[in-house]
A and B are shown apart, each in its own frame.
Chain A
Amino acid sequence: MQLVIFNGSPRGKNSNSEVIIQWLIEGLQQEADNPIDLLYLNKTQNHQSYISRIQASDTALIVFPLYTDCMPGIVMAFFEALEPLRKSLSGLKLGFVVHSGFPEAHQSRFVEKYLQWLAEELDAKYMGTVIMGSSEGIRSMSSSMTKKKRKLFNQLGNSLLLENQFNVEIVKKIAGREKMSNFAAQCFSILSKTGITNYYWNSQLKKNKVYQDRFAKPYSERH
């Protein structure tokens, strides 16, 4: 397998996407040393040169965080660069990993439809889209906190190597719940009134000494 992985995070090497990619690579390299090309879409000046890399591969994975309900602008810039390759990548297997800070898989289902369409438009074989919620902060979490997710992505990478496609059961496990249950949503609403759900944001705001400005409306002309 000649595999190319694109990291579509604007944060590049210092991203949650990179953590997920490394987990996948651990799984992919369990059996043998596979040549893996890892490229960064935040280097937008390199997009044209990435086209030949995707053409030279038989499998491509594109991993990105959900940005305003879809792909980040840098990933769209790369998709635009692929426009001349419409209906010309029939030898390529193309899969995606979309992750978001929201807990529900549902949030990423809308871009998933687009990604399937994109693979078909390129004439590539669509391997599927792996959706992962609650991804924010995995880059700074301890290994014990991410153990389960790491194992699932290790297994996904390994299944990709052995079966040449995403394992549907693992994809389902990674996606978890489509939406929050009514009970969970109610609990969250109650907890949010105590401030517990904002703990991460508040600690960052306090660390940066701007907690008191957190509700600033710098652009409002309505007083």
Chain B
Amino acid sequence: MKRITIINGMSDNSYLTLEHELEVILNKNKANIEFECFDLRNMDINYCCGCWSCWVKTPGRCIQEDEMPRLLKSMINSHLTVFVSPVHMGFVSANIKKVNDKMIPLLHPYIGIFNGECHHIKRYDQYPKLGLILVDRISYGKDSYDMITSIYQRLAINMKTELAFSILSDGNMEEVDYAISHL
């Protein structure tokens, strides 16, 4: 059984078609895929305060008392974690970025060399593939999509994984469908 974690960072309810389409894809694969969806609209998650307690005081755990541990637990035990985000000012929303910042407890503070670059070493044995679904309502267009994708490719390197897909929701959902059914 494969596991998928969906982190829905949509800020309002005006794009329910996408959420519905995603639900259809997930339900279609229900026989061999378990999925867990988190809706950031209903979650209490603080910004990372840069204290690094998760590295030097409570290894692997954030000291803030919010709902982030639920996300981390689901993510690190998944095979694929998908971020769904509106494009705001040419980038993912602050809500999604906030979640990305708080993924550092999943890594170890020690630094190693990977492909000639410095990166943090693994804390866990396996990391989920990452996926990105972007909703570009203001039409920031391809430049912004390319920048976001290149930054998430870097994030994937740091998270010891790969970016399985990055799509704009006004395209079709075939790529997501394919990635999910071929996990």
| A interface with B by C-beta (< 8 Å) | 9-11, 15, 42, 44, 65, 67-74, 76-77, 79-80, 82-83, 86, 102-104, 106-107, 110-111, 113-114, 117-118, 121, 179-180, 182, 185, 188-189, 192, 197-198, 201, 204-205, 207-208, 210, 213-222
- Asked whether any CB of chain A lies closer than 8 Å to the CB of B2, the reply is no
Is the pair A219, B147 in contact by a Cβ cutoff of 8 Å?
A: no
Total contacting residues, chain B, CB less than 8 A = 56
From residue A184, how far is it (CB to closest CB) to chain B in Å? 9
Select from chain B the residue with minimum beta-carbon distance to A198: B110
Residues of A within 8 A of B50 (CB): 9-11, 15, 65, 67, 72
CB distance from A65 to the nearest CB of B (A): 7
- Proximity bits, B56-70, A CB within 8 Å = 1, else 0: 111111000000010
B47 at the interface (CB under 8 A from A): yes
- Whether A208 touches B147, Cβ cut-off 8 Å, given contacts A68-B158, A73-B97, A77-B94, is no
Q: Which of B18-26, B118-126, B165-173, B175-183 contacts A (4 or more CB under 8 A)?
A: B118-126
Is the beta-carbon distance between A68 and B117 smaller than 8 angstroms? no
Are B103 and A210 touching (Cβ within 8 A)?
no
B interface with A by C-beta (< 8 Å): 47-52, 55-61, 69, 72-73, 76-77, 88-95, 97-98, 100-101, 103-104, 106, 108-113, 116-118, 123-126, 138, 140, 143-144, 147, 150-151, 154-155, 158
Q: B11: nearest residue on chain A (CB-CB)?
A: A80
Q: In the complex, what residue of chain A is closest to B126 when comparing beta carbons?
A: A222
Q: How far is the CB of B120 from chain A (nearest CB, A)?
A: 10
Partner of A82, one of B52, B59, B89: B89
Return A10 CB to nearest CB of chain B, in Å.
4
Q: Could you count the A-B residue pairs with CB atoms below 8 Å apart for me: how many are there?
A: 175
* Chain A to chain B: the 9 pairs with minimum beta-carbon distance, closest first: A73-B98, A77-B94, A204-B56, A69-B154, A76-B94, A10-B50, A219-B73, A73-B97, A76-B97
The 11 sampled A-B contact pairs (Cβ below 8 Å) are A67-B50, A69-B151, A73-B47, A73-B98, A76-B88, A114-B91, A180-B118, A198-B111, A204-B55, A210-B58, A216-B123
Task: Known A-B contacts: A68-B101, A216-B60. Give 11 more (CB < 8 A).
Answer: A44-B47, A79-B88, A80-B88, A110-B147, A180-B118, A185-B116, A201-B109, A201-B110, A213-B59, A214-B108, A220-B125
Complex Cα distance, B110 from A188, in Å, reads 12
Assess whether B56 is in contact with A201, with CB atoms less than 8 Å apart. Answer: yes
**Given A69-B155, A179-B117, do A10 and B108 touch, yes or no (CB 8 Å)?**
no
Check A10–B94 contact: CB distance below 8 A: no
| Inter-chain contact B89/A118, CB cutoff 8 Å | yes
* Bound Cα distance from A203 to B55, whole angstroms: 12
Closest to B92 in A: A76
Are A79 and B117 closer than 8 Å at their CB atoms? no
A205 touches B110 (CB 8 A): no
Q: Kindly list chain A residues whose C-beta atoms are within 8 Å of the C-beta of B89.
A: 76, 79-80, 82-83, 86, 118, 121
CA distance A182 to B115 in the complex (A): 10
Distance (whole angstroms) from the CB of A195 to the closest CB of chain B: 9
Q: A10-B49, A201-B56, A219-B73 are in contact. Are A192 and B97 (CB under 8 A)?
A: no
- The answer to whether B125 and A68 touch across the interface, beta carbons within 8 angstroms, is no
C-alpha gap A30/B49 in the complex (Å): 33
Contact B143 A117 (CB under 8 A): yes
Nearest CB of B to A81, in Å: 9
Contacting pair A219 B69 (CB below 8 A) = yes
Question: What distance in Å separates the Cβ of B109 from its nearest Cβ neighbour in chain A?
Answer: 5
What's the minimum C-beta distance from A96 to chain B, rounded to whole angstroms?
14
Do A110 and B97 touch (CB < 8 A)? Answer: no
**Given A68-B103, A106-B117, A201-B110: A121 and B47 within 8 A (CB)?**
no
Contacts of A80 in B (CB 8 A): 88-89, 93-94
